[in-house]
Amino acid sequence: MAEHGFDVKRLPGAAVLAVTTFIILYIPMVILVSYSFNSGKVIGNWEGFSLTWYGAALQNAAFLDAAINSLILATSASVISTLMATMAAIATTRAAKFRGESTIHIILNQPLMVPEIVLAIALLIIIGQIKQATGYTGLGFLIAAHTTFCIPFAYLPIRARLEGMDLSLETAATDLYATRFYTFRRVTLPLLAPGIMAGFMLAFVISLDDVVMSDFLKSPGQETLPTYLMGELRRNLTSEIYAISSLLLLISVLIVAGSWVATRKKN
């Protein structure tokens, strides 16, 4: 006698395909990480566990430069874009429709609608002219570009959070003689914080992971982690690549885990 009865949520074959998919998704990444611990020089010939490649990477000046660039870039871009996105979200959410609102909305989402390579060459053209004219080759261009495409990524979670917020709290605050700014500072902002945090982390990861834009807009000698990685791929296939890749992987896992824990706590 079947104890469990008829499971309406069961679709034959789904579980098998699903688990297979998970395995297929993870095997390449697991192998990649395992290579980074391989002490041997030839990729694929397992010669023993070692951290030499990580060491090599950390002593590699080019790698360190790229890492620092990436960090500066990601931090600046995410801070600035989150700031702008927060302001924009407040401007466009929970308002009675005002003139131009949908226009603003479209503009804010525009970078998502155009393939990145198109934006990359577009900026290449413009920035190329500016470089010629001014001779400036610093990180500024990249920061501007990253900030731009990070804005929609920061905007969406903040807006979502804002829309889900209880308006009555702010009404209560105003009822208690708070000025607009005070209400914002003491009531709105703290409640909005998780959304802002989510937007910030999203922007950070997007910037850190960016390949196309950075590759096109960087000046000679200027590298970010992903562009450095891509360059190394073509030059020499050493296990150092896997070490760097594993590091990037680790950062992603940490950020995802971090935001997971953060959202668990909130709920």
- Tell me which residues in 48-77 interact with other proteins (CB under 8 A): none
Minimum Å gap between C-beta 34 and other proteins is: 10
Q: Is 135 in the site for other proteins (CB under 8 A)?
A: no
Provide the 10 A C-beta neighbour count for residue 175.
Answer: 9
CA–CA gap between residue 31 and residue 243 (Å, rounded): 12
Q: How far is the CB of 67 from other proteins (least distance, A)?
A: 13
Separation CA 65–CA 88 (nearest Å): 34
Q: Is 195 in the site for other proteins (CB under 8 A)?
A: no
Residues in contact with other proteins, total (CB under 8 A)? 93
- One-letter amino acid at 37 equals F
Residue (of 91, 119, 124, 120) closest to 105 by Cα position: 91
CB 73 to other proteins: min, Å: 14
Question: From its phi and psi, is residue 229 left (phi > 0), alpha (psi between -120 and 50) or beta?
Answer: alpha
Report the residue number, 155 or 187, with the smaller CB distance to other proteins.
155
Bridge partners for 38 per DSSP: 49
Cα–Cα distances (Å) from 236 to 158, 193, 241, in that order, read 42, 45, 9
Least distance to other proteins, CB of residue 117, Å: 4
**Does 133 participate in binding other proteins (rule CB under 8 A)?**
no
Q: Is 87 in the site for other proteins (CB under 8 A)?
A: yes
The interaxial angle of helices 189-209 and 61-92, nearest 10 deg, is: 140
| DSSP state for residue 49 in the 8-state scheme | B
For residue 188, what are its two tokens?
């709105």
For other proteins, what does the binding mask look like between residues 203 and 222, x meaning CB under 8 A? --x--xx-xx---x------
Smallest separation, CB 168 to other proteins (Å):
20
Establish if 155 lies at the interface with other proteins (CB under 8 A). yes
Query: In angstroms, what is the minimal distance from the CB of 144 to other proteins?
Result: 6
Q: Which of 66, 73, 85, 203 binds other proteins (CB under 8 A)?
A: 85
The residues facing 49 across adjacent strands are 38
Nearer to other proteins, 173 or 210 (CB): 210
DSSP per position, 213-252: HHHHHPPTT---HHHHHHHHHHH---HHHHHHHHHHHHHH
Query: Does 121 participate in binding other proteins (rule CB under 8 A)?
Result: yes
Stretch that binds other proteins, among 12-20, 59-67, 163-171, 192-200 (CB under 8 A): 12-20
167 binds other proteins (CB under 8 A): no
With respect to other proteins, which residue has the nearer C-beta, 37 or 242? 242
Nearest to 142, CA basis, from 156, 157, 131: 131
Verify binding: residue 15, other proteins, rule CB under 8 A: yes
- Closest to 244 measured CA to CA, from 200, 201, 208, 204: 208
Q: Among the candidate windows 6-14, 54-62, 158-166, 168-176, which touches other proteins by CB under 8 A?
A: 6-14
